[in-house]
């Protein structure tokens, strides 16, 4: 409350390409739950988990697989427990690809991408299965924040219809305890799926988080009936160079601008992701340029921060702004080919840090303001770059906080077009892992 009242007078003007970005802290939007990625079938080594959840990348959400095979649970819990050791405040999401085989039946439903469905006679058993995973993780020092009833029900893992998911939630959703319940996690964040669920008051009451993916779609605003909204999976790997990294950054801004609360990338460790896996020219265990860009979000827009209003006219900038912990954060993605001057004018700030990753350096570097007053700072934003400008509120004047440039032996951006993110139908069995779009990782896959 003290922070809000102290900063409620702040209005920022940022001239960009002759235009002006205006941030008004009096207009507030959603709270932020965090930014993270997935650790699935291959299980990262402790060193990689440490890199992901320490101050190196600063991820605040970990997504894991709810395996249909209970023999896998120990390895899943081990990875999660290590992540908690690094950051006790992370949020862990468990997503389900398939129920145990005994609960499945063959279907001839032509609307399904795969010929397997959960038997209706096993709906109660399935709720018990999800609860068992929640309980196991908690008892083994790896508690879940949330659990999803099905990953991509409209794709090729386990087939559901939107009405079936609604009906299961109406009857059994209330039985899931110990973790928030996520649905529907559709492939392209299809409106028909969450609208079907939210239109039923009983089903809606049993869902805590509306989750979904962004394959073949773009973020949009919708009435979530007060539920949290998480983007729980997306990847880009058609061209793993800088262009796709900028596309990811632009997409994150659009997700946040749409009022969603969290953004979760696909695999944390993969040659097109945050940490190299030794494939396609990446160096095993080394942070990739895409990881450095994502870290700007994860480390600076923290859980509990609130998005605030920002408007402007620059065609080369995507931007969002946030407040929290007596700080104001402006995230800037400059897709333009020329540098730009940015001027921030809060009511007053005592210090700032400006961290950028650009096409020319592809690691996190600090940027000093070219001019400051007690209420303004001017930055020459690099071409084709992503930046986080963090102001500490106060009245001491605009001085740069001491910050060491982050250096790493980073592999250069890989530009091969090995695989697109287009999904094609294949026959997957219970608990199987598809090689499509690199979901499984490992040396035998080129996704």
- From residue 431, alpha-carbon distances to 98, 106, 299, 409, 427 in Å are 6, 15, 34, 37, 12
E strand or H helix at 236, and its extent?
none
Burial 112-127 (b: 16+ CB within 10 A, else e): bbbbbbbeeebbeebb
Indicate if 45 belongs to the active site: no
Give bridge partners of residue 344 from the DSSP assignment: 377
Which is the catalytic residue, given 233, 244, 251, 279?
A: 233
Other CB atoms within 10 Å distance of the CB of residue 338: 11
Give bridge partners of residue 39 from the DSSP assignment: 64
The packing angle between helices 73-86 and 46-53, to 10°, is 40
**DSSP reduced 3-state for 305:** coil
333, with CB counted inside 10 A (0-12, 13-18, 19+), is buried
On whether the CB atoms of residues 170 and 202 are closer than 8 A, the answer is yes
Q: What is the side-by-side strand order in the sheet with 340-344?
A: 340-344, 376-381, 371-373
Q: What would the DSSP string read from start to end of 238-285?
A: SSTTHHHHHHHHHHHHHHHHTT--EEEEEESBSTTSSB--SSTTPPTT
Indicate if 152 belongs to the active site: yes
Which residue matches tokens 């659990």? 147
How far apart, in whole angstroms, are the C-alpha atoms of residue 210 and residue 249?
22
**DSSP reduced 3-state for 331:** strand
Other CB atoms within 10 Å distance of the CB of residue 400: 15
| CA angle, 177 then 211 then 213, to 5° | 145
Which is the catalytic residue, given 82, 152, 185, 251?
A: 152
On whether the CB atoms of residues 30 and 306 are closer than 8 A, the answer is yes
How far apart, in whole angstroms, are the C-alpha atoms of residue 289 and residue 240?
10
Tell me the catalytic residues.
152, 233
């Amino acid at each position: 409350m003290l922070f809000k009242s102290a900063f409620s007078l702040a209005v920022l003007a940022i001239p960009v390409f002759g235009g002006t970005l205006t941030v008004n802290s009096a207009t507030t939007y959603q709270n932020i739950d965090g930014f993270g990625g997935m650790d699935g079938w291959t299980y990262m080594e402790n060193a990689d988990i440490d890199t992901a959840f320490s101050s190196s990348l600063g991820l605040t959400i970990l997504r894991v697989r709810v395996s249909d095979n209970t023999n896998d649970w120990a390895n899943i819990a081990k990875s999660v427990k290590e992540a908690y050791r690094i950051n006790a405040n992370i949020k862990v999401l468990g997503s389900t690809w398939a129920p145990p085989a005994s609960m499945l039946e063959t279907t001839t439903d032509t609307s399904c991408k795969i010929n397997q469905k959960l038997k209706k006679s096993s709906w109660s058993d399935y709720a018990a299965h999800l609860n068992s995973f929640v309980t196991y993780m908690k008892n083994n020092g790896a508690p879940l924040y949330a659990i999803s009833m099905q990953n991509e029900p409209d794709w090729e893992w386990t087939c559901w219809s939107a009405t079936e998911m609604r009906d299961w939630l109406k009857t059994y959703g209330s039985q899931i305890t110990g973790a928030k319940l996520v649905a529907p996690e559709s492939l392209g964040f299809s409106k028909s799926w969450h609208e079907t669920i939210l239109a039923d008051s009983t089903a809606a009451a049993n869902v805590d988080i509306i989750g979904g993916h962004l394959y073949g779609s773009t973020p949009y605003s919708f009435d979530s009936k007060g539920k949290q909204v998480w983007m729980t999976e997306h990847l880009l790997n058609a061209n793993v160079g800088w262009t796709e990294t900028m596309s990811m950054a632009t997409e994150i801004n659009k997700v946040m601008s749409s009022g969603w609360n969290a953004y979760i990338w696909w695999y944390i460790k993969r040659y097109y992701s945050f940490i190299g896996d030794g494939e396609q020219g990446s160096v095993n265990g080394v942070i990739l340029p895409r990881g450095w860009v994502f870290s700007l979000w994860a480390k600076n827009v923290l859980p509990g921060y609130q998005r605030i209003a920002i408007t402007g006219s620059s065609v080369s900038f995507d931007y969002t702004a946030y407040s929290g912990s007596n700080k104001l954060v402006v995230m800037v993605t400059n897709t333009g080919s020329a540098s730009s001057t940015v001027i921030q004018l809060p009511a007053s700030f005592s210090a700032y840090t400006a961290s950028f990753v650009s096409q020319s350096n592809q690691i996190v570097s600090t940027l000093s303001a070219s001019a400051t007053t007690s209420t303004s700072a001017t930055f020459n934003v690099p071409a084709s770059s992503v930046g986080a400008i963090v102001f500490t509120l106060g009245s001491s004047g605009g001085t740069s906080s001491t910050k060491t440039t982050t250096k790493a032996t980073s592999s250069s951006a890989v530009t091969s077009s090995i695989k697109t993110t287009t999904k094609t139908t294949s026959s997957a069995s219970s608990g199987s892992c598809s090689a499509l779009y690199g979901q499984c990782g490992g040396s035998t896959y080129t996704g």
